[in-house]
A and B are shown apart, each in its own frame.
Chain A
């Protein structure tokens, strides 16, 4: 089927498409559940950076893009608000006085970006609109921001920013125009410790945070801002990314420079539950599918994207459990299922459309079978879970 073919989109600078910009920041528009929409942030030291809003028309297999200017600096990280479609956070670098500073800010998209672009989608002369700054998430005392995390499934009022060795919990007030640090946690230890990434757990009433610094993974309780657990040497090298299993509260995936993807049960941190070594270079991003947590997406600087089917440690280790009613209706199907071999962990597919390091991969918030990946050369690839697997999971 043609719709299994990947859709490739090359980022271009608007209006003058000089060359493909570098890009690292990718996010699904979390609050949008109808349209398949991704946000991409560019990295350029020479031009105004942009946020590309990529809309994917699933039926026609067409990509629509809209561009918003992000003049503050090159974007390292994007986070979309889970409550308000128009609100997002970025972490960006800016240079002032020949110093490079990392900042974080909350932005709002202009309300009419959509209409404007629809009228003239291919009009390169059209001047892109600019993002509206809501507030800075900067605290001069706390150094360079690495990433900003929204409270999962929250009301868009709380974010955490990781800056150097601090985790700052912000309360956004007055429709996000004001940000106040409500709590902080500090990583203490020898040497210059620095958070590289983090993830806000959707479980336990959103009271837990996991962070990565160097080779360690730490869990934090946000109520007391104290460390709950610490997986020292979780990876042989730097830990690059984390993700929580959306359905199993103690399960956590991590990836790093040792080319491995590891799955942890945080109740037993001595050994990973599972370890994958499919990539041939550093793994930069790991993402659980939001609905079917056996599907795990990993992106690596070996220019590959790998979709794995981790059935054995998913919330549905025996496949989709059929209800009694369904059973009576579709006896035959069920029989077929039973006849099949028990599902095994496997690599579903390796995607090789990228030609440079893939730094980010995300699942769509609207379609659970669709995901996007972004490589450094500004190429965005949209892929679907193979049909056979999709039906096997569903049926």
Chain B
């Protein structure tokens, strides 16, 4: 086969050679000196082509070989090619073409010769090798035959051996079964002794597990006397063991872990679970109670200090051991349904005691200083109880704990309220002192303590205090505090607790205490300095206008309440503050009015008006009245706005003076002692009264200076009038009153809203004193003026 192929190859190469030569020539023309590697590859390629080995080159070949003029293509048509050359090329070109082609043919021939030579050698060596192989295989076949014969013999032997061993094997299996049974039996027989040993060594757990393994077997074979004996022995021993365990359990001195181990073993020994529960719980109880006692003892010696530490320790010890008890209990008695209630009762009971302790401890926490400590302690407390809640889902303990926290929080709020209140009262005392001091140190130094500054510092310090309290209380609702997301702290605490019982209550307290000033001071004759009344009145008014809404907005912002429970609206508080301000101001008017009234009254009552001398001066008391009124005017002007007054004429004192003395008044008391014109005057006075509005002396005033001053002057003059009516005057007495009234007239009109009021009252005074005069001879108006101007 090989030979045949070799022989065939040179024959074929004849066909190929012109082709190859042509391609080679083309290549040389195109590429130039790309000779050796390219050529070898082409030779290879051609061989491959010949043997049909080249698959990858196929496509390329097909694509380019359709041209019949391609000398290397498979469809090459020599006739066509020759024609084409002859048509297209000149003679010289044809000549060149011819020489080139001859050259190519020549090189292709030599190539082919080399190839044939090489292949020939290889074929010869291959023939040799095949011949050698033929000989070797013959030898091998013989050996294989021998081997198969041997194997057949071996199979035969092995079958005979296994046939002979069959019986012995079954016997051995049986024997090993017996052996294990015997081992078990031995365990059983040794069991009592082993149990005893365990008992001695107090390895209860091992004993119980051993016994448990043997128990079923013993039970099953108990009808056999020997087993029965063993069972009895075991029972006796186990009873003893149980006894011992129980004893140990009863002693209770051991740790919680030991106890739970004991209980576990006993349970495995089928002890009644309920009884164990009880005992277990009672042991736990005694231990926890000792904890509690420790806690209690700790509370007592430190009534006020180290809240944080003691609460922390208390929480740690008690609650964690409680948790331990609960876990072990639940592990132990997991399958005894009814025992759950027992545990609940137990936990509730102990927790109640614990809570009472905690509550006592919290109640002792009175100092308002640092709220964060308390909040932290409560937080810890609450967090621990959450652990209990997780362990014991149905328990009321965490709820009670939360209640305690809530109570503590409300208690805290109350404390803050009272702290705020006492702070307020203290600052009032400070203000009072500040008001008192400048009077001692005379006018020069009173600038720093002036009313507006006192007012602003007072209201600022109160506001600061409120803010700091709010900040402290805000700790209760901080995000990182476990109980802050309880519905109570989200809703009620904010609205009812902080807003209502802290902020609103404080504002109400401020109003109430202000009202209290009005009431108490009235009876004890003005124990409150009038300036303080004025100041407080302004404070309340400021509260009404802005501060209350500011504080409440602040509170609402900090304590956002989602529940919108009904709260005291700002308007009610404002109304209350306004009412308080009104009362205070009214009271201020009253007190100041009374101080002046008192002077006037004393001056009227203590003088003998019948036997007085002809007036030469305005009495000193009138000057004092005017001075005091002026200083009150200044005082009120510091805090209150001017207010509106009825229009004055350009020179009020002069104009009204003339009206007052010449026209009506003159006519009035001229008439009272000249019977000639009786009805006129009477009528005049009555008509005047008919048309003038009734004057309410102690009436409400408005929040401005003029109104306040009007009130004070009204009170003073009315007192003057009533006092005059109780006296009897001589001629000069009347004249003195005339002078005094004129003096008042000159100075007081400027303070009041309606000067006619002053005129009317002064008219009445002079008129009444004229009636009460034994010898009414009024002084000349000009003289009065001279006296008054002289001062």
**Which positions in A face B, CB cutoff 8 Å?**
16, 18-20, 22, 45-46, 93, 95, 98-100, 233, 236-237, 258-259, 279-282, 301-303, 352, 355-357, 376-377
Interface residues in B668-702 by Cβ distance below 8 A to A read: 671-673, 675, 678, 681-682, 686, 689-690, 694, 696-699
Q: Is B774 an interface residue (CB 8 A)?
A: yes
Q: Is B5 an interface residue (CB 8 A)?
A: no
Do B697 and A233 touch (CB < 8 A)?
no
Given A98-B611, A99-B610, A233-B524, decide whether A46 and B718 contact each other with a Cβ distance below 8 A. no
Please tell me which stretch of B20-28, B292-300, B311-319, B722-730 contacts chain A, meaning at least 4 of its Cβ atoms lie within 8 angstroms of it.
Answer: B722-730
Given A98-B611, A100-B728, A301-B722, decide whether A236 and B690 contact each other with a Cβ distance below 8 A. no
CB of B35 to closest CB in A, whole Å:
138
Flag B707-740 by CB within 8 Å of A: 1 or 0 each.
0000000000010001001001010000000000
Do A45 and B697 touch (CB < 8 A)?
no
Interface residues in B625-649 by Cβ distance below 8 A to A read: none
Do B728 and A95 touch (CB < 8 A)?
yes
Do B681 and A281 touch (CB < 8 A)?
no
Flag B658-674 by CB within 8 Å of A: 1 or 0 each.
00000000000001110
Q: Is B557 an interface residue (CB 8 A)?
A: no
| A352–B524 alpha-carbon span in the complex (Å) | 31
| Residue in A45, A259, A282, A377 whose beta carbon sits within 8 Å of that of B722 in the complex | A282
| A45–B673 alpha-carbon span in the complex (Å) | 11
Q: Is B522 an interface residue (CB 8 A)?
A: yes
Do B675 and A93 touch (CB < 8 A)?
no
Q: Is B771 an interface residue (CB 8 A)?
A: yes
CB of B317 to closest CB in A, whole Å:
55
Chain B contacts for A45, CB-based, 8 A: 728, 771-774
Do A281 and B610 touch (CB < 8 A)?
no
CB-nearest residue of chain B relative to A301? B722
**Which positions in B face A, CB cutoff 8 Å?**
522-525, 594, 610-611, 671-673, 675, 678, 681-682, 686, 689-690, 694, 696-699, 718, 722, 725, 728, 730, 771-774
CB of A16 to closest CB in B, whole Å:
8
Given A18-B675, A258-B522, A376-B725, decide whether A302 and B696 contact each other with a Cβ distance below 8 A. yes
Chain A contacts for B718, CB-based, 8 A: 281, 301
Q: List 12 A-B residue pairs with CB atoms under 8 Å apart, sorted by A's residue number.
A: A18-B678, A19-B672, A45-B773, A95-B728, A95-B774, A236-B524, A236-B594, A280-B698, A281-B696, A301-B722, A355-B686, A355-B689
Do A98 and B696 touch (CB < 8 A)?
no
Do A259 and B728 touch (CB < 8 A)?
no
Chain B contacts for A303, CB-based, 8 A: 694
| Residue in B522, B682, B730, B774 whose beta carbon sits within 8 Å of that of A19 in the complex | B682
Chain A contacts for B525, CB-based, 8 A: 233, 236
Do A19 and B694 touch (CB < 8 A)?
no
Chain B contacts for A19, CB-based, 8 A: 671-672, 678, 681-682
| A356–B721 alpha-carbon span in the complex (Å) | 11
| Residue in A100, A258, A282 whose beta carbon sits within 8 Å of that of B610 in the complex | A100
A18-B675, A19-B672, A22-B725 known; 5 new pairs, CB 8 Å cut-off, are A18-B678, A95-B774, A98-B611, A98-B730, A302-B694
CB of B698 to closest CB in A, whole Å:
5
CB of A264 to closest CB in B, whole Å:
13
CB-nearest residue of chain B relative to A355? B689
Chain B contacts for A301, CB-based, 8 A: 697, 718, 722
| A22–B722 alpha-carbon span in the complex (Å) | 13
Chain A contacts for B690, CB-based, 8 A: 355
CB-nearest residue of chain A relative to B764? A356
CB of B734 to closest CB in A, whole Å:
11
Chain A contacts for B611, CB-based, 8 A: 98-99
CB of A12 to closest CB in B, whole Å:
10
Chain A contacts for B771, CB-based, 8 A: 22, 45
Do B698 and A259 touch (CB < 8 A)?
yes
Do B682 and A20 touch (CB < 8 A)?
yes
| A19–B673 alpha-carbon span in the complex (Å) | 11
CB of B772 to closest CB in A, whole Å:
7
Do A280 and B675 touch (CB < 8 A)?
no
| A45–B610 alpha-carbon span in the complex (Å) | 12
The 4 closest A-B pairs by CB, nearest first: A280-B696, A281-B697, A19-B682, A100-B728
Chain A contacts for B730, CB-based, 8 A: 98
CB of B702 to closest CB in A, whole Å:
16
CB-nearest residue of chain B relative to A304? B694
Do B728 and A281 touch (CB < 8 A)?
no
Chain B contacts for A352, CB-based, 8 A: 694
Chain B contacts for A236, CB-based, 8 A: 522-525, 594
CB of A223 to closest CB in B, whole Å:
32
CB of B515 to closest CB in A, whole Å:
13
| A73–B490 alpha-carbon span in the complex (Å) | 82
Do B694 and A233 touch (CB < 8 A)?
no
Given A98-B730, A376-B725, decide whether A302 and B610 contact each other with a Cβ distance below 8 A. no
| A352–B689 alpha-carbon span in the complex (Å) | 13
CB of A92 to closest CB in B, whole Å:
12
CB of B713 to closest CB in A, whole Å:
14
CB of B39 to closest CB in A, whole Å:
137
Do A46 and B673 touch (CB < 8 A)?
yes
Chain A contacts for B675, CB-based, 8 A: 16, 18
CB of A215 to closest CB in B, whole Å:
8
| A258–B522 alpha-carbon span in the complex (Å) | 8
Chain B contacts for A356, CB-based, 8 A: 689
| A279–B682 alpha-carbon span in the complex (Å) | 27
| A100–B610 alpha-carbon span in the complex (Å) | 8
CB of A91 to closest CB in B, whole Å:
13
Do B725 and A98 touch (CB < 8 A)?
no
CB-nearest residue of chain A relative to B773? A45
| A302–B699 alpha-carbon span in the complex (Å) | 11
| A93–B772 alpha-carbon span in the complex (Å) | 12
CB of A230 to closest CB in B, whole Å:
16
| A99–B698 alpha-carbon span in the complex (Å) | 35
| A352–B7 alpha-carbon span in the complex (Å) | 162
CB of B711 to closest CB in A, whole Å:
11
A19, A301, A302: most-surrounded residue (chain B CB, <10 A):
A19
A20, A233, A356: most-surrounded residue (chain B CB, <10 A):
A356
CB of A252 to closest CB in B, whole Å:
17
| A302–B610 alpha-carbon span in the complex (Å) | 28
| A13–B175 alpha-carbon span in the complex (Å) | 158
Given A99-B610, A280-B696, decide whether A93 and B728 contact each other with a Cβ distance below 8 A. yes
| A308–B689 alpha-carbon span in the complex (Å) | 27
Do B697 and A302 touch (CB < 8 A)?
yes
| A355–B681 alpha-carbon span in the complex (Å) | 16
Chain A contacts for B524, CB-based, 8 A: 233, 236
